[in-house]
Structure 1
Amino acid sequence: MEDNLRQKANERRKRVNDLPAFDIRVVIFTALHDPEHESLERHLVNIGAQKLKTDTFLRGDYWCFKNATGELIGVFIKCLHGAGNGLAGIEAMRVFPVFPADLVAFCGIGGSLDPQTSPLGSVVVSKKVIWQGFDKIYIDPNQPLHEKMREKDHFIYVLNGPLSDALDDFIHSKKHGRPNYTPLDSNPDLRVRWAEGVTNWKKTERSKVKEDVEFFDPDRITRDWDVPVKRGDVLSWEYVLNSRARRVRILAATKTFAAVEMESGAITRALDYTLNVGGASKYLSVRGISDLCSQKTDDIFREIGSDAAAGFLVSFLFSTLTTQLIGGR
C-alpha cells in the first residue's frame, strides 16, 4: 500500500517535471464546465495559447502562452464540476502541492450584492475575499444582521498591493478596450445568441427583478459588446443567496461587498495551508454577474458573465502579469 502511494506521488511529480520551464505559473479554477470552463478556454485560444496536456490525476489541463513581454506563462485549469467551498477546498489542496502557483484565480459567475453598481453581465474583481459565518446569520431572521456579524470572526484575505495596483491600472487603462470596460468575445454566432437571449429576457424575465433593474439597460451590452468592470470585496459563503431582503441587509451592514459566491473562501484558505501564511495574498476572484441574489435570472447572463470574466482575466494575464509584478522566481 505504502509503496503504491509513493509510486503514484513520484509519477505525479514526473508529469509536472515534464512541463516546460515556465517563467510564471498560474492556477485557474472554474466551477462549471459550461459556460465557465468553455469561456476560459475560448479566450485562451484567442490569444494563441496552446493546450499542452491533461493531468489525469488532478483532472485538469495545462496550457501555456507568451505574455506581451515574451515571458512564458504556464496555466493549470481546474474545473470543479460543481459549486461550493467544500469541493473547492478539497481540490485546491490537491492542486497546489503538485503545481505551486505565482497567481491563483477563480474565473466564473457570481451574484451581485449591489445591482446598481454591479449590474447583470458586469464583472467584479476582488479586492479581498471574506469567508465564514454568514450561513448561520439567518437562523433567527429577527436578529439584526450587523450585531451578529460583529460576533463572528471572519477569514479575510486581501490581494497583495502590487497585484491590486496593477489590476486597478489595467481596469482604468485602454489596454483591454475602453477604460472600466471589458469586451465580450467577437464570435458572431455567440453574439447572435446573446442578443436573442437578452431580448427574450426583457420579454419574459425582467419583470421578476424589476426593483433591481430600474436603471439597467440590457441593450447597451448588445449595442457596445462590452461590460463594466469594478473592484470590490467578495463574500464567499455556503449556500445560494436567493432572497432580495437578505441581500439588502448584507449590503446595508457592510457597504463594501460587491459580489457573492461559494468557492473563494476555501481556495484562499488552502493557499495559506499548502504554501505559506500569506499565500492567499496572491489570490484573485473574477466574477461575471449572472444574478442579483433574488429571483432567478435567465441563463443568458450566465453565458455573458462567464465570457466577460474570462475575457478580462486572460487579457490581464497576457498584457500585465510579469515576473517583475510577482516578485520574480
Structure 2
Amino acid sequence: MPFHVVVGRGATATATALLLADAGDRVRMVSRSGAGPSHPLVERTEIDATDTDALSRLAEGATTLFNAAAPAYNTWPELLPPLFGSILTAAERSGAGYVMLGNLYGYGPVDGPVTEEHPLEATGSKGRVRAEMWLRAKEAHDAGRVRATEVRAGQFLGAGAYSIFTLLVQPKVLAGRPALVPAALDVPHAYSAIGDTARALVAVARDERGWGRPWHAPTITASVREVAGRLAALAGVPEPHLDTMTDRELTLLGLGDPFWDEMWETQHMSHRPFTVDSAAIETTFGVGASPLDDVLKESLSRM
C-alpha cells in the first residue's frame, strides 16, 4: 500500500490527505498541533517539521512528501528557509518525491497571463523567498538528489480556505454587512479552489511527467465583486456592499497588526489585473478548474 507524508494541517493539506486516503493510500499528516481529518488511513502526528531528523524518520518508506506548510504570513522571510529546508532534506534522505504547494508571489509584477515559463522576478521579500524555496528544490532535483515539483495556486476559495476573500469579504457578505477590501473590486484576479489544488498536487505526484518543473493549479478568473455577487446570490442574501480600502486605512491597520503591512508587497496582484494560464495542468493531467458556483456552494454547505 503506498504511503505518503503531508506536512501541514490547513485546508489544502487536509483535502490532499483525504484524496490520497480515499484512494486507498496510507497518509501521515505532520504538524505542530497534530491536527487533521478523521480517516482510518490518516495518521496524525505532532512534531515541528524543522526537526529534520524526526521528520526524516517519519518519512522513511514514503512515496511522496507533500509540503503544504504555511507559517504566519508576515514571518515567511524568516521562517520559510529553515522550515522548507528541513522538509526538502527529509525528502532527500527518505527518497520520497517532494511536492511543494506554492503560490504566485515569486513572479513579481507581470503584464498579461502568467505562465510557468515566466521568470521569477519578485521585488518583495515574501515573493523572493517563495522563489528561492522553489529554486533550491529544483537545484536538488537537477542534481539527482530528489524528485521535486511545485503546484502554484492563486488566492484560495472553498471550504476551509484561508485568504483575503474568505477572511474579509465572505463573512461580511453572508451577514449582509459592508466589506472593506484591500483590493480593486472590478479587475480580474486568479483564484484557486481548495479541492482543485489538492487534485493537482496528487496528479503531479502520481505521474512521471510531473517532476522537475512547476505547475499552475487550476485557476478561476474573476473579480472580487463577481465572486462576492455569486456568493450572495447562492446564499440568498442581499447584494454585497463593497469598497476598496484606502492607503490610509491600510496604514492605520498596520500599526496594530503586522499582517496588514504585508499587503503593500502584493498590490500588483490585488489592485491590477493579475491572470494566470493554468492550461498546462489541464492538458497534461486532465485537472481543470471547478465552476465558481460549485466552489461557493461547497463552502456554503460546510458552514
TM-score range, shorter chain: 0.3 to 0.5
Q: From the CA coordinates, give the structure whose radius of gyration is larger.
A: 1
Higher relative contact order (CA 8 A, sep 6+): 1
Q: TM-score, normalised by structure 1?
A: 0.35
Q: Which has the higher strand share?
A: 1
Q: TM-score, normalization: structure 2?
A: 0.37
